[in-house]
Homo-oligomer: A and B are copies of this chain.
Amino acid sequence: MRSGTKKDGNEKRPRGRPRAYDPETALRQAAEVFWKTGYSGTSLDDISAATGMNRPSLRAAFGDKHEIYVKALNDYWELKFAALDKAFGSGGGLFETLTRVYDAALSIYFSGGDQVLGCFVVGTAITETAGDPEIQSIVAEGFHNIDADFEARFKLARAAGELKQGADPKALALLASATMHTLAIRARAGTSRNELRKLAHKAASVICG
Residues of chain A having any CB pair with chain B under 8 Å: 36-41, 115-118, 122-124, 126-131, 136-137, 139-140, 143, 168, 170-172, 174-175, 177-179, 181-182, 185-186, 188-191, 199, 202-203, 205-207
A123 to B171 alpha-carbon distance, docked (Å): 24
Bound CA span A168–B205, Å: 10
CB proximity of A166 to chain B, nearest CB, Å: 11
The interface residues of chain B lying within 8 Å CB-to-CB of A140 are 189-191
Select A123's contact among B126, B168, B186, B189, beta carbons within 8 Å. B126
Q: Which residues from chain B contact A185 at a C-beta distance below 8 Å?
A: 122, 126, 143, 181, 185
* In the complex, the 3 A-B pairs of residues with the closest C-beta atoms, listed nearest first: A40-B41, A178-B182, A171-B202
**Cβ B130 vs Cβ A171 within 8 A:** no
Q: Give the CA-CA distance A178 to B36 in the complex, in Å.
A: 23
Between A and B, 14 residue pairs with Cβ closer than 8 Å are: A115-B131, A122-B122, A123-B126, A126-B126, A126-B189, A129-B188, A137-B190, A143-B186, A171-B206, A172-B206, A175-B179, A175-B203, A181-B181, A181-B185
CA distance A130 to B110 in the complex (A): 12
Contact of A40 among B40, B143, B179 (CB under 8 A): B40
By CB atoms of chain B within 10 A, which of A115, A137, A189, A206 has the most?
Answer: A189
Q: A36 to nearest B CB, angstroms?
A: 6
Report yes or no: B182 in contact with A174, Cβ–Cβ below 8 A: yes
